[in-house]
Amino acid sequence: MARVLTGIQSSGRPHLGNILGAIIPAIMLSKDVQNEAFFFIADLHSFITIKDPKQLIENTKATAAAWLAFGLDTQKNTFYRQSKIPEVCELTWYLNCITPFPMLANAHSFKDKSEKLADVNAGLFIYPVLMASDIIGYNADFVPVGKDQKQHLEMTRDIAISFNHMYGNTFVVPEPIIDERVMTIPGTDGQKMSKSYGNTIDIFLPDKKLRKVIMSIVTDSTRIEAPKNPDADNVFSIYKVLASETKISEMHSKYLAGNYGYGDAKQELFELILRRFQNEREAFNYYISNQQELEKRLQEGEEKARVVIREVLLRVREKLKF
Ligand code: TYM
């Protein structure tokens, strides 16, 4: 059996990018009889940016509810909150001490975020090492992630390989699974959809609020009557990742023909999201209002996950003679 592992931060509520880029493909992999999956909510990573504990807990619950709403089987797989298994922090310390400073200083994500964020803390810097511990601490074979995580996975492999080289075979060296065909889902402003850019679409919002978000997608000021270029428009690029081939080509023709406004396209996108995710929206609300069930499922997963990382840590301490 191969172990598939992935995590999602709870620095905001889960968005369409996380769902199409991570949750749906990861759950598909978890359904394969050859695989068992470890899926978790990276709430320690989220603390790098979210300092309000109440907000962090709310986001963590919403992220957990999203995994369950999309059909994660928590009997077969292991589902947990990163912070409930603090052994990962001990492992991070050992790995910090064998990770070269320039590797972290040159990471794209660190460079990018340290320019944009007001709070550039040490956690942001060692973020990739905690991520490596998340992965090699649980003996993951495969890690499905979006393209934006590629470099973090390369660092994880480098860290695992150099530890194994220095102390003898200790860690499984994981393989990333990055589907290059799965595009980076664009946000309401056309940039990559990201919690840190404030351009996300939260498909679990109540109808009215969701509609408001869809209506806020940035478009140019071409008049209704005029033909429009679908390939240069944000509404169409989001519609494209959700609709069927036929519907996509219908909307494409409407753009080119004119007399079709961006407001019309936004309304179609809104209705499509409601239709396509109707069951998941209902299931999400169920889990949000049944916190006890959510908590129970997570705690069961945390029991299972803890056993695995403790074994790995024993191995590491043994090698390091601590
Ligand atoms: P995070 O929380 O930023 O994103 C979670 C997953 O969603 C994917 N994703 C996207 N895919 C397509 N289009 C988008 N706009 C988009 N935005 C996000 C990401 O590629 C990712 O797969 N560091 C990780 C969390 C993490 C982790 C781990 C992942 C911590 N430890 C161990 C895997 C293994 C992160 O911040 O993802």
- Ligand 1 mutation target, pool 145, 153, 157, 309, most atoms within 8 A of CB: 145
Q: Among positive and negative, which fits the CA dihedral 116, 117, 123, 127? A: negative
Do residues 73 and 30 touch, judged by C-beta distance below 8 A?
yes
Q: What is the pLDDT along the chain (322 residues), one digit of tens a residue?
A: 999 999 999 999 999 999 998 999 999 999 999 999 999 999 999 999 999 999 999 999 999 999 999 999 999 999 999 999 999 999 999 999 999 999 999 999 999 999 988 999 999 999 999 999 999 999 999 999 988 899 999 999 999 999 999 999 999 999 999 877 667 899 999 999 998 889 999 999 999 999 999 999 999 999 999 999 999 999 999 999 999 999 999 999 999 999 999 999 999 999 999 999 999 999 999 999 999 999 999 999 999 999 999 999 999 999 999 9
Give kind and range of the element (H or E) at residue 80: strand 78-81
Atom of ligand 1 nearest to the CA of 194: 17
Amino acid at 264: D
Per-residue model confidence (pLDDT) at position 181: 65
- Closest residue by Cα to atom 31, ligand 1, is 131
Per-residue model confidence (pLDDT) at position 255: 97
By annotation, the residues acting in catalysis are: 113, 192, 195
Output the CA–CA distances (angstroms, integers) from residue 245 to 21, 184, 241, 248, 251, in the order listed: 19, 19, 10, 5, 10
Q: Measured in whole angstroms, how far is the alpha carbon of residue 240 from the centre of its chain?
A: 20
Distance 148 CA to ligand 1 centre (A): 7
Lay out the sheet containing 35-42: strands in order across.
78-81, 35-42, 2-9, 142-144, 175-177
Query: What's the whole-model pTM score?
Result: 0.95
Structural domains in the chain, CATH included, are 2-184+291-320 (3.40.50.620), 204-276 (1.10.240.10)
Do residues 173 and 160 touch, judged by C-beta distance below 8 A?
yes
Per-residue model confidence (pLDDT) at position 180: 72
Distance 109 CA to ligand 1 centre (A): 12
Task: Give the pocket of ligand 1 (CB within 6 Å).
Answer: 6-9, 17-18, 21-22, 42, 45, 131, 134-135, 143, 145-146, 148-149, 152, 184-185, 192-194
